[in-house]
């Protein structure tokens, strides 16, 4: 069966458990093999993808394509990795008044 690549754009994508994952925004092609390599998803479900960020899903995870895209595999909830080299953000909190009537700064 042949399908135009433009027909993929804006298709809804669902996990194997039937949960909405996101919309197809774009595709990456492997020009040497002449095949789709990944689907780029946007408007992702924040319950599954932390912060609702755009993600790339390997095409080998795709099970069926019709009115929607069904995946045969999805690893579960995706969380952002913390970068150990990136310093944690320190926040300055100004307390209004202390018990002795002096305004103080606090660092968290």
Residue 30: strand pairing partners: 35
CB-based contact 48:21 (threshold 8 Å): yes
Fold annotation for 1-74: SH3 type barrels. (2.30.30)
In the chain, what are the domain boundaries? Answer: 1-74
- The two three-digit tokens of residue 36, written as one number: 């789709």
pLDDT digits (tens, 9 = 90+) for 52-94: 889 999 999 999 999 999 999 998 887 776 666 655 554 444 4
> Which residue in 86, 68, 71, 67 sits closest to 38, CA to CA?
71
pTM greater than 0.75 (yes/no): no
Q: Please report the pLDDT score of residue 77 as a whole number.
A: 83
């Amino acid at each position: 069966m042949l399908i135009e690549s433009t027909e993929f754009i804006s298709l809804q994508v669902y996990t194997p458990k039937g949960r909405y994952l996101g919309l197809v925004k774009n595709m990456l092609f492997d020009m040497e093999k002449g095949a789709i390599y990944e689907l780029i998803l946007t408007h992702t479900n924040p319950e599954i993808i932390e912060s609702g960020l755009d993600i790339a899903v390997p095409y080998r995870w795709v099970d069926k394509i019709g009115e929607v895209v069904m995946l045969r595999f999805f690893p579960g909830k995706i969380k952002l990795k913390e970068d150990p080299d990136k310093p944690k953000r320190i926040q300055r909190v100004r307390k209004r008044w202390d018990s002795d009537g002096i305004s103080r700064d606090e660092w968290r």
